[in-house]
Chain A
């Protein structure tokens, strides 16, 4: 099953989802398409006109273009996802630090899709890490049924 990860560039989530037998939907693969095909230097910070138009589906016209640029990449992934995993309360440098509104909108879009979603707390010690990994394993194991 396709599992959307939030933050979409997280290596820990990408690795865990793949390790437990599912396909992670991350921003890296979509960025690769932009880098390879249209030679954009810094996606999602550099956007094309098409991205801005695509982003309008997820964020209003008054929303800053950075948010629309991000959601133009993340929005179609959320639509394609069968499930989602969200990390809550991460440190400042973890995930998309550029704009918290993008993160809020991403969580809202996931909630609106009503797909199976797991929210885990960012671990600060070994017990919390075990809880996080265990919950992800159980959640992904349950998706197979």
Chain B
């Protein structure tokens, strides 16, 4: 990944009391030389890789399970994506689906942080032995 520019998308969980405005003001003060843009779901932040590491660590510390983030390919305000310039938003359906699921993830992270480890373990899928398949087939003959 490029070291010169890292763009991050920060999304606030709908269950959080934090507003995009509060988040933008806070992120703006976390490190010098960071470019932040407010959006309806949170904000976009852009800087060099090292500054971004500091910012993301601070965001995780301050809004532990309330703000989620991922890297964004396009720069902030890119005319190919920015809606102010009629850019397209092909990834918006994905963002919307994830935004709707964030309260569940937030509550799960809160529960696990509180020490609740009562959850199912992954089921290991194994191939069906031929003998069992034969028994099933013959049972319905």
Contacts and interface: CB of A to CB of B under 8 A. Distances in A.
Given A15-B70, A29-B71, A126-B108, A94 B122 contact: no
Chain A's interface size range is 35 or more
A126 to B, nearest CB: 5
Contacts of B90: 42, 45
Interface stretch (B1-9, B21-29, B30-38, B127-135): B1-9
A28 to B, nearest CB: 4
A30 B11 CA distance: 21
A95 B73 CA distance: 16
Contacts of B80: 35, 41-42
Contacts of A18: 56
Interface stretch (A47-55, A58-66, A100-108, A128-136): A128-136
B70 A28 contact: yes
Contacts of A57: none
Given A12-B105, A14-B70, A19 B60 contact: yes
Cβ-closest 8 pairs across A and B: A31-B73, A129-B104, A129-B108, A133-B108, A14-B70, A134-B119, A11-B70, A93-B93
Given A33-B2, A43-B73, A94-B98, 10 more contacts: A10-B98, A28-B70, A32-B2, A42-B88, A130-B111, A130-B116, A132-B108, A133-B105, A133-B112, A137-B112
Interface of A: 7, 9-12, 14-16, 18-19, 26-36, 41-43, 45, 90-91, 93-95, 97, 118-120, 122-123, 125-135, 137-139
